[in-house]
Structure 1
Amino acid sequence: MSVAEERADNIRMLRDSAAAVVPRGSDLARIRALRFGMPGFDRDVWREIGEMGWIGLRLPEAAGGAGLGMAEFCALAEELGRGLVPEPLVTGAMAARMLGDATPPALVDGSRIILPAWQERADTVAAGTDTRLDAGRVTGRKVFVPMAAGADAFLVTTREGLALVAADAPGVTLDCAKTQDGGHWGTVTFEAAPAEPVPGTTEAAIEEATLATAAYLLGVMEQGFAMTLEYLRTRKQFGRPIGSFQALQHRAADLKLQIALSRASIESAAATLDAGPLSPRRRAAVSRAKARAADASLLVTRQAIQLHGGIGYTDEYDVGLYLRKAMVLANAFGSAQTHRTRFAALMPEDDDV
């Protein structure tokens, strides 16, 4: 079996394994039951995710991981996006990548939830370093930690390096703000909180989590679009399926094109990251993919609501959940505008988002 064939087989198996948490047929009953609750996801499902090796997918085998590439991780994230899976795999895997060889087995197997606390301001792709680590204690403030109420510990970026802080440690205060999709962002304040300094790096982990978020958004827009096509085939007006009307066919074709362009950009960026160490061109590829996915996911899911007509605006109808997810994740790991700006700074003028 060639390398390409082996990789394609890995991707196929990962997509198939995602059915364990993304039931075929897109039954969103579990997702609806978890909305707006705390922690907003199921720890039993998280442990199952760990047992399947997804948290350590990008870790080398010597560190307890699967040693797979970004193409595989993006395929998995896409499948999770189709099912609006709320478990924070992207950021959990990000923490593992930040720690590298120092990743504790409890994080990889899902028995302990460690989430990265790396942002100190909105709309950024750079880890904040205003937080201080002094004499084994962390002082500072981190924002936009997704699903933070479910964390057992936070992996905190500081001026002096990475630090592991227990979520229930003295000096740790968590303030959660609910989001449109039924989840939440956490603002974590550390006031001389006891911490364990740990080795690790952030740059590659942030880039990979950014691209995985784009892939998740690809799954969101694909499933929202699939639901819309099914509705256009079955909803009748004047004795005909509304999908037979040329104006609606043109709108659907435009949306399909946006999805195809997003997929091409994400797959290209994944191949670029897998080809070697970080470079300006590889960062630019990530920004191109994230900008496309952010804009396209909002366009596709908003149009999906409109093409469904009045029923699409009701909360009881599932298509609206896809728009809500796109609204939350479009700006995660940097907005489309932030990534267009970064792309322009990193790439030659003859390349375009």
Structure 2
Amino acid sequence: MIRDSAAAVAPRGGDSKRVRALRFTDPGYDPAVLRQMGEMGWIGLRLPEAAGGAGLGMGEMCALAEELGAGLAPEPLIPAALSAALLGYADDQAALTPLLAGEALTLTAWQERADSLVTPGTPDAKRIFVPMAGGATQFLLPLREGTRMALHLLPAAGADLTIERTQDGGTYGTLRPDLSRATRIADDVGGVIGRVLDEAALATAAYLLGTMEAAFALTLQYLRTRQQFGRIIGTFQSLQHRAADLKIQLSLTRAGVEGAAAAFDAGATGDAARAVVSRAKARAAEASLRVTRECIQLHGGIGYTDEYDAGLYLRKAMVLANQYGSAALHRRRFLETAPEDEE
């Protein structure tokens, strides 16, 4: 049902006209579609019903993210869901309701250095790689206070924010916090912030899975119709072998993502949860870049033109492969956290 509902917003195979119209514009996504996502309960999918959410698991979240990836939806659902999870622990819930409804966009500015899943919470440090920051209504700031990680809310209006364009036509923001304008809303989220970042990393892996599956489907269609030398090029054995290799990458990625989601929903915590997330994200990051690049090559010259949709999938993979940790970071973390019999 969740997969079917996603088609109303992001039809599998993509609504390339909508995606292209939003590229390199401000804020880079459609606020009306984000509101629709809120109305459908997607932003609060993982929140308990008592907190205004749907109380569903990571299996459902990954299924939804996969469909959004297949449709190349630019709306920042995963970052919004991350913020919703943190706001669920806030003393003041005033910011949660409009976020869940999609009427406001609260983004968590947690990252202080490139390729990291660590949240130092340094009060005066700039926060980097905030996705779709130009559309934010407010920012969540985790701040280290001794042994605790407090949570502050900073209005986006008047914030010291620098916006940079990304390859897929979206944006990243660099935020320099002014704590005199921020409001403290939670005393300590240190025990949960690592968990919600892992959930965001796993959902991003599922989004990448959907992206590469849609790119592969587009490529198979091309191989089955394009003719050279009087033959359908999909009958050439060398191209069949390359397509088979990509299909294996897709299958391995799906196994990793679905296995990690099942482990989460079965109650995995600590190193066990971190290991399965890192295995899935490392696989998705590497496979998505390989599959989308190969799809460009299998299309030949037309694949390199911006007017052809194959490039949209590659650009999306280039942006998301390193979000919430690169393949290299997650391989290192898997070695640190996985049981010895899985190394």
TM range (shorter): over 0.9
Q: Contact conserved, 1:22 with 1:80, CA < 8 A, in 2?
A: yes
Q: Contact conserved, 2:14 with 2:72, CA < 8 A, in 1?
A: no
- Identical aligned residues as a percent: 60
1:15 is displaced (CA, Å) by 0.3
**Whole-Å separation in 1 of the counterparts to 2:153 and 2:219:** 44
1:193 is displaced (CA, Å) by 3.7
Secondary structure in structure 2 of the residue aligned to 1:350: helix
Residue aligning to 1:130 = 122
Q: Contact conserved, 1:228 with 1:304, CA < 8 A, in 2?
A: yes
Amino acid at match of 1:189: R
Does residue 63 (structure 1) correspond to residue 55 (structure 2)? The answer is no
Residue aligning to 1:5 = none
Q: Spell out, residue by residue over 1:188-220, the C-alpha distance to the aligned partner (whole angstroms, 9 max, x if none).
A: 011334112122431211010000000000001
**Whole-Å separation in 2 of the counterparts to 1:205 and 1:192:** 24
Secondary structure in structure 2 of the residue aligned to 1:221: helix
Q: Contact conserved, 2:68 with 2:207, CA < 8 A, in 1?
A: yes
Residue aligning to 1:10 = none
**Whole-Å separation in 2 of the counterparts to 1:312 and 1:193:** 50
Does residue 210 (structure 1) correspond to residue 197 (structure 2)? The answer is no
In structure 2, the CA distance between the partners of 1:61 and 1:303, relative to structure 1 (3 Å rule), is same
Secondary structure in structure 2 of the residue aligned to 1:20: coil
Secondary structure in structure 2 of the residue aligned to 1:302: helix
Residue aligning to 2:2 = 14
1:348 is displaced (CA, Å) by 2.9
1:173 is displaced (CA, Å) by 0.6
**Whole-Å separation in 2 of the counterparts to 1:294 and 1:140:** 28
Secondary structure in structure 2 of the residue aligned to 1:155: strand
Residue aligning to 2:126 = 141
Q: Contact conserved, 1:140 with 1:191, CA < 8 A, in 2?
A: no
Residue aligning to 1:164 = 153
Deviates more, 1:158-167 or 1:217-226: 158-167
**Whole-Å separation in 2 of the counterparts to 1:277 and 1:315:** 43
1:278 is displaced (CA, Å) by 2.1
Does residue 40 (structure 1) correspond to residue 32 (structure 2)? The answer is no
1:129 is displaced (CA, Å) by 1.3
Secondary structure in structure 1 of the residue aligned to 2:79: helix
1:25 is displaced (CA, Å) by 4.8
Amino acid at match of 1:88: P
Residue aligning to 1:325 = 316
Residue aligning to 1:185 = 172
Write out the 4+ residue segments of structure 1 that deviate beyond 4 Å after TM superposition.
none
Deviates more, 1:239-248 or 1:343-352: 343-352
Deviates more, 1:88-97 or 1:152-161: 152-161
Amino acid at match of 2:285: A
| Matching of residues 251-270 of structure 1 within 5 Å | 251-270=242-261
Q: Contact conserved, 1:180 with 1:325, CA < 8 A, in 2?
A: yes
TM-score, structure 1 length as denominator?
A: 0.91
Residue aligning to 1:106 = 98
Residue aligning to 1:301 = 292
Secondary structure in structure 1 of the residue aligned to 2:125: strand
Amino acid at match of 2:15: D
**Whole-Å separation in 2 of the counterparts to 1:24 and 1:325:** 15
Residue aligning to 1:153 = 138
Q: Contact conserved, 1:47 with 1:110, CA < 8 A, in 2?
A: yes
Q: Contact conserved, 1:148 with 1:186, CA < 8 A, in 2?
A: yes
**Whole-Å separation in 1 of the counterparts to 2:39 and 2:88:** 18
1:24 is displaced (CA, Å) by 4.8
Residue aligning to 2:185 = 198
Q: Contact conserved, 1:165 with 1:193, CA < 8 A, in 2?
A: no
Q: Spell out, residue by residue over 1:260-306, the C-alpha distance to the aligned partner (whole angstroms, 9 max, x if none).
A: 00000000000111111521011000000000000000000000000
Q: Contact conserved, 1:63 with 1:101, CA < 8 A, in 2?
A: no
Secondary structure in structure 1 of the residue aligned to 2:175: strand
| Matching of residues 212-231 of structure 1 within 5 Å | 212-231=203-222
1:101 is displaced (CA, Å) by 4.9
**Whole-Å separation in 1 of the counterparts to 2:129 and 2:330:** 18
Amino acid at match of 1:152: T
Secondary structure in structure 2 of the residue aligned to 1:140: coil
Give the aligned length. Answer: 331
**Whole-Å separation in 2 of the counterparts to 1:321 and 1:78:** 16
Residue aligning to 1:119 = 111
Residue aligning to 2:71 = 83
